[in-house]
Every structure is written in structure tokens, then in C-alpha cells.
Amino acid sequence: MMDLAAWIDALGASDPGRPFLVTQDGRTVTYGNLLAQSRRFAAGLKALGVAPGDRVTAQIEKSPDALFLYFGCLWLGAVYMPLNTGYTQAELEYFVGDAEPALYIHDPAATPPKGVRTLTLAADGSGTLIEALPAASDLPRADLPDIAQAAMLYTSGTTGRPKGAMIPRRALASNAATLANLWRFTAEDVLLHALPVFHVHGLFVATNTVLAAGASMRFHAKFEAAAVLADMPKASVLMGVPTFYTRLLQAPDVLRDAARTMRLFVSGSAPLLPETHEAFAAVTGHSILERYGMTETQINTSHPYDGPRSPGTVGVPLPGVEVRITLPETDQPLPQGETGMIEVRGENLFTGYWRNAEKTAADLRADGWFITGDLGHVNAEGQLVIVGRGKDLIISGGLNIYPKEIESEINALPGVTESAVIGVPHPDFGEAVVAVVVGTGVTETDITAGLADRLARFKQPKAIFIVEDLPRNTMGKVQKALLRDTYAQLFA
């Protein structure tokens, strides 16, 4: 299989003038530029003592140079390790101590962690890393096996300290090629890229898929609804998180007009509410395509390009990816329609957790199946339905309760914008159902009354809180662990 560095090599040689990305201020990076910069960054890293297999950690703002650094690592055979720009100093010290990178690249305005060699790279293309690069290079790309590690991304750490997921070269190439084909990308496509590039969604799913098709990007430093709407007529595809779509819907008339040239809207990284799906279709005529992925696997399933994109589902397995539902804590497959643990297998998978053989053995079966930690079932149409994380399962009075079922009922009530249902310790039941709700003009009494005839009594919340916002991570996922901590002593 041709890897990403080979695609850059081929495209840069065969069509050097084709745009790879265009920034908001009008700067164009062609595929010829991308090839030259990938070689230049790789040669600079090599001169700085970075060898194939070494980790290069980057906590930098989104910019073309951030992508050049990523592709330069691939060209050299180094392991690219991006970090969220919002991490605290204590978190950075942990990552450096765990990963032991050969080099740490940071924004000049940020304070780097101690105990590692550091260089700077700013979003405007300045910094000590740039100063250390040669003017040009013809360094040949690394000839490495497809199982060689290409990147390492740390998981969110909701069940303990974050773990480094080791991503092989074949996973990046196979997932990108599959998605480009499945989502009908061609060299004429223009992706509106407004996602961060320290995460699988923006760095791999968006960028690598464009590269696999030889397509181009309108490259936004961050998501701003007005700027995205203004750029939409120049694009054909948008990949985003649910928050993108709820914010775009706040200007329905502008959105309706701007979306006329678009062919595809993709959503992921967090569940898209059916209400958002339906509202977006009503305004634009486009049915948002949802897909399901995670740090360790990239993308596993997707709505079809042709055919119904059913709200509340995440589609069917990608070609070359297997998905099964098993009885939790076992490898016993469950029949269609029954809820259990989602497991996946394919070339899209990571190879294990960095220096954590115990967790690797617990999550990655010897026969290649990865235990995702997500609970779900396959519906009558063969589409995967995710009901929540395994750790979000509530066991109250010995009965299993799936938060998503309750959230769906709450979200359908008048005045409710969204909700998060959690389990907290309870002296009698073990765990009690608690609902945290965002809404306008809605009360706890309204919600209690609205659920009375919709849910069995044991599923109904024992406490309801109306709040202004739910806590989220940078990709828009609701942080239920924080909510559980907040309300942990409620029934103590």
C-alpha cells in the first residue's frame, strides 16, 4: 500500500501546481510546495538529531507549517505527536515524561515543559525551528514497513491517566484511501477545513483524505461561523463537529444560500442530535453524513454516500473494517438488535498503547479485535446505533440503564436544547440517574412530567439540574466525567 509520504512524492512530482491548501489571507500552498516543505522539514529534523522512530511532540497553533511538520515527520520516519494547545503545564510535564520525545516544538508564547529539547514554531511561520531548517532539501523519503509507527496521540484519559495510542503508517493510508473512495472525493473537491490539527478528526480524517484524493482545502485557523459561511461557496465539502452545525443554523437564510454549491457535510467526534440533523436538512436540503471513529481506530463506520442517512445511527462498517457486538467482558457475539460492547477489527487500528502492555492486552484481543468501550447495537436496517460509553452505563437497583435512551426523551421535550444523563453514587440503589439539562423556559417539573409516561420508573431521573451549558472538550464531546465529579456527593 502506498503511504502518505509516497502520495506527497507522487502528487508533488506529477502535478506540482495543483493547490493543496489556501489560507484565509489568500496564501496558496501547492502540491509542489508540500513536497518541498516535507523534505525541508524532514531534513531539518534529521540535522537536529531526530531519527526514524523518535517522537516529535508538537503543541502549536494551526497553520500550514504545522502540517509541514507532520508530513516532515512522516517523510523522515519520525513519530508525530500533536498535543492540544489547551493543556496545562502539569499535563505537559506528564506527556513529556511518558513519551520521552527527541524534540518538543511549541508556540513561542507558551512555556515549554522541562526535561526535553525544545524549539519554537509560531502560526505566522516564524520560530527557532524554521531558523534551523535548510533552504531546501532533496532528502529521499524513509523506506519503512507499513506497520512502522507514524504517529502517537494521547487518549482523553477519562478512565485514568492519558495513554499514547501508537498509530502505524498503514492505518493512516488505508483509512484515508477508504474514506476518499467512500465519500466520492476527487481532485476537484475543496474541503472547508476549520477543525484543529492536534486531533484525529482534523489531522487525519480531514487532511489525509484530501491528500489521498489530490484535492484541496480552504484552510481556516479556527471555526468561526461567519467566516465559514462566507467561504462555503468556494468549497464542496465540510467536515465538522455537531457544534459547527448548530452554529451555522443560527443564520438559516445565509446558510441556505451558501450551501448551494456544497455536495457533502460530514459530522463526527460527538453525537449529532436528530433535531440538528433534521433542521439542517430542512434549511439546506443536505442530509448530514455521520461517521463513527476514535483515536485508536480513526473511522470505523459511516452513513452511505448514496442512500438514507438515518439520524441517531452512524452507518455501516467501512470496507475492510469489521464490527461486532459482544457481551461485555467476554468475546461472545450478541444477536442483531441486542445492546453490547462494540468491537472493531481492520487495518485502521492502532498497534497498542505506548509502554502500557497491560492496557493493550486488556483492550486489544490476540485475534485483532479492539474493545472500543462503546456500547451499541445493530438495528434492523444494519446500521450501528451507539447508546453510550461502557463507563457511562448506569446500574441502578441491579438494572442496566443506557443514558442515551433517557437523553433522547428529554431532548424531545419543549424548551430543551440538550441534556446529559449520568449515574452518581446512591446508598440504596448503587447508582441513581441524574439529568443535567440545557434549555429555555423549561423547569425540572416540566421534565419530570414529560418523562412520566415515556420511561419506566426505574429509568426516570432522581434529580434534574437546569444549567446554561454542558462541559465539553475541544472536539465538542460532553465531559460526563466532570459532571459525575460535580454531582458525586448528591445522595451522600
For residue 474, is pLDDT > 80?
no
Q: Is residue 444 part of a domain?
A: yes
Query: How confident is the model over 243-254, as a mean pLDDT?
Result: 94
Q: Determine what percent of the chain falls in helix, strand and coil, rounding each to the nearest 5.
A: 35, 25, 40
Question: Which of 144, 164, 194 lies at the terminal end of a domain, its last residue?
Answer: 144
CA distance 40 to 12: 14
Sheet harboring 416-426: ordered strands across? 416-426, 430-439, 463-467
CA distance 220 to 243: 16
Q: Is residue 297 part of a domain?
A: no
pLDDT single digits (tens) 23-55: 999 999 999 999 999 999 999 999 999 999 999
Instruction: Determine the pLDDT at residue 159.
Output: 47
Is pLDDT larger for residue 329 or for residue 287?
A: 287
Residue 117, domain CATH: 3.40.50.980
Question: Which of 98, 127, 144 lies at the terminal end of a domain, its last residue?
Answer: 144
Q: Is residue 447 part of a domain?
A: yes
Instruction: Determine the pLDDT at residue 123.
Output: 97
Q: Is residue 312 part of a domain?
A: no
Alpha carbon of residue 432 to chain centroid: 30
Q: Strands (DSSP E) along 331-429, which ranges? A: 340-346, 352-353, 370-378, 384-389, 394-396, 399-401, 416-426
Q: Categorize the per-residue pLDDT at 475 as very low, low, confident or very high, splitting at 50, 70 and 90.
A: confident
pLDDT single digits (tens) 97-117: 999 999 999 999 999 999 999
Spatial CB neighbours of 433, under 8 Å, sequence gap ≥ 6: 394, 396, 401, 406, 421, 422, 423, 459, 460, 461, 462
Q: Is residue 425 part of a domain?
A: yes
Query: How confident is the model over 82-87, as a mean pLDDT?
Result: 88
For residue 314, is pLDDT > 50?
yes
Query: How confident is the model over 455-473, as a mean pLDDT?
Result: 91
Q: Is residue 414 part of a domain?
A: yes
Residue 441, domain CATH: 3.30.300.30
- Cell 494547545 sits at which residue? 85
Mean pLDDT of the residues in the chain: 93
Q: Is residue 358 part of a domain?
A: no
Question: Which of 144, 163, 184 lies at the terminal end of a domain, its last residue?
Answer: 144
Instruction: Determine the pLDDT at residue 243.
Output: 84
Q: What angle do CA 369, 297, 241 make, to 5 degrees?
A: 140
Query: How confident is the model over 299-311, as a mean pLDDT?
Result: 95
pLDDT single digits (tens) 58-80: 999 999 999 999 999 999 999 99
pLDDT single digits (tens) 280-303: 999 999 999 999 999 999 999 999
CA dihedral for 256, 258, 264, 267, sign (positive or negative): negative
Residue span of the structural domain in which 95 resides: 4-144
Instruction: Determine the pLDDT at residue 160.
Output: 59
For residue 1, is pLDDT > 70?
no
The H or E element spanning position 216 is strand 216-219
Query: How confident is the model over 257-263, as a mean pLDDT?
Result: 97
For residue 428, is pLDDT > 70?
yes
Residue of 318, 224, 310, 237 lying closest to 272 (CA atoms)? 310
Is pLDDT larger for residue 90 or for residue 218?
A: 218
Instruction: Determine the pLDDT at residue 431.
Output: 84
Q: Considering the chain, what percentage of its residues have pLDDT values greater than 90?
A: 82
Q: Is residue 204 part of a domain?
A: no
Instruction: Determine the pLDDT at residue 158.
Output: 44
Q: How many CB atoms lie within 10 A of CB 307?
A: 11
| Domain total in the chain | 2
- The DSSP annotation for 127-176 comes to SHHHHHS-S---PPPP---TTSEEEEEE---TTSS--EEEEEHHHHHHHH
Spatial CB neighbours of 83, under 8 Å, sequence gap ≥ 6: 57, 58, 59, 92, 95, 154, 198
For residue 348, is pLDDT > 70?
yes
pLDDT single digits (tens) 231-247: 999 999 999 988 899 89
Per-residue b or e along 260-274, where b marks 16 or more CB atoms closer than 10 Å to that residue's CB: eebebbbbbbbbbbe
CA distance 484 to 391: 11
